[in-house]
Amino acid sequence: MSSAFRSLRVFNYRVWAGGAIVSNVGTWMQRTAQDWVVLTQLTHHNATAVGVVVGLQFAPQVLLLPVTGFAADHLDRRKLLIATQAGMGVLALALGLLLLSGVAKLWEVDVLAFLSGCVGAFDAPARQTFVSDLVAEGDLSNAVALNSTSFNAARLIGPALAGVAIAAVGSGWVFIINAASFAAVIGSLCLLRLHELRPTDRAVRRRGGLADGVRYVWARPDLKAMMLMIFLTGTFGFNFPIFVSTMSVSVFRVGSDRYGLLTSVMAVGSVAGAFLSARRERPRISLLFVGSAVFGGGLALAALAPGYWWFGAALALVGLASQTFNTTLNATVQLSTDPAMRGRVMAILLAVALGGAPIGAPIVGWVADTFGPRWALGVGAASGFASAVVAALYLRKHGKRARAEAESAAA
């Protein structure tokens, strides 16, 4: 089997990946429909309202940080994932029924987005670290990259399906479809061969677990640099729902089908970035510099795009760069972190990456409403360039040691 797909040799990983791709398609369908509903059905093209929904969805990553990392490190991750996936399915069903009944209001979408974020705050670190229970340490980087490939392959399919479904049967059915898709990943978790799981060392149960995680990160210059980079891009750069929806509606004035197509075009680049990452034996911090710089450049080109298809081409470049950045960062953090600390470190990472959304998304939405969507894209571009500067400063100060450690780990 090609080295890019070597993790698929493991039965448990194959089963998990099969369920995940189905659920991921549903998730991307819902994300696309949710932004469209808020922008065109519940408001009159109000980008700030989209930003608020995005912010509410990710705020729990910070609010629940003291317990989410603890849960990922101390609880049975498989059982935890079954519970969180079921919870998100129920919430998707509730929103779908509200939309189908014709009584949905913006505040209800806000509340359900926040509740979904609360469940997702427990799901994300457990799901990220569960990969290390499925494959050997030597295949971890590859498995992380394949997970990203699956997520972005779904991103290629889901938004396009959502756009067609919204036009054909209405947005409510998109949420119902997503609710049903969670059955696939729950089924895959139930079908795993439990005796073949590779449980990592669990942390000792005691007070101050989160503080230990913060101290661990603070003592590591590489982790601190990566946390700052993902904060910058996550807060101001990864606001794709706002960028794509406002450019579609306000600048290019297209319908739901072509809006969904833009997100799928962006996913083409993301799939390519994830696949290239899967071929690498080990991640390198230098790739974070490249990914950040190209990400900023791609958003700058998107801001200047003269037409719909030029904008789509720029989004494909943005997808390639953002996925290279995200996959490299995720694998680097997991591989360089003590297994007993992984859950807490990944929870901190996710809180930094997604927790900035309650700050950045409303700001970017306000910029789009006040100055126009192209200026909002400019804010995102600036965040990519700032992240590249952080990587350059780290490599200048610690580059020799980082290369020596990478060579030692590869030997």
- Non-local (6+) Cβ contacts of 11 within 8 A are 193, 196
- Non-local (6+) Cβ contacts of 171 within 8 A are 33, 36, 37, 41, 99, 165
Q: What is the dihedral of CA 330, 243, 37, 23, to 10 degrees?
A: -20
- Amino acid identity at 222: D
User: For position 410, what pLDDT does the model report?
Assistant: 42
User: For position 75, what pLDDT does the model report?
Assistant: 84
Dihedral sign, Cα of residue 42, residue 250, residue 170, residue 58: negative
- Amino acid identity at 101: S
Q: How does pLDDT run along the chain (411 residues), one tens digit per residue?
A: 566 678 888 899 999 999 999 998 999 899 889 988 998 888 888 888 988 888 888 888 778 877 887 788 788 889 999 999 999 999 999 999 999 998 989 999 999 999 999 998 899 888 878 888 888 877 777 887 788 777 777 877 888 888 889 888 889 999 999 999 999 999 999 999 998 887 665 554 454 556 778 888 888 988 999 999 999 998 999 888 889 989 998 899 888 778 888 878 887 887 777 667 666 666 677 888 999 999 999 999 999 999 999 999 999 999 899 888 988 888 888 778 887 787 778 778 877 887 777 788 889 999 999 999 999 999 999 999 999 999 999 988 876 665 555 444 444
Sole residue written with tokens 């969670």: 182
Question: Rounded to two decimals, what is the model's pTM?
Answer: 0.70
User: For position 401, what pLDDT does the model report?
Assistant: 63
Report all structural domains of the chain as residue ranges with CATH numbers, in order of start.
Answer: 3-192+204-410 (1.20.1250.20)
Dihedral sign, Cα of residue 143, residue 148, residue 151, residue 154: negative
Q: Residue 288's closest CA among 342, 228, 361?
A: 228
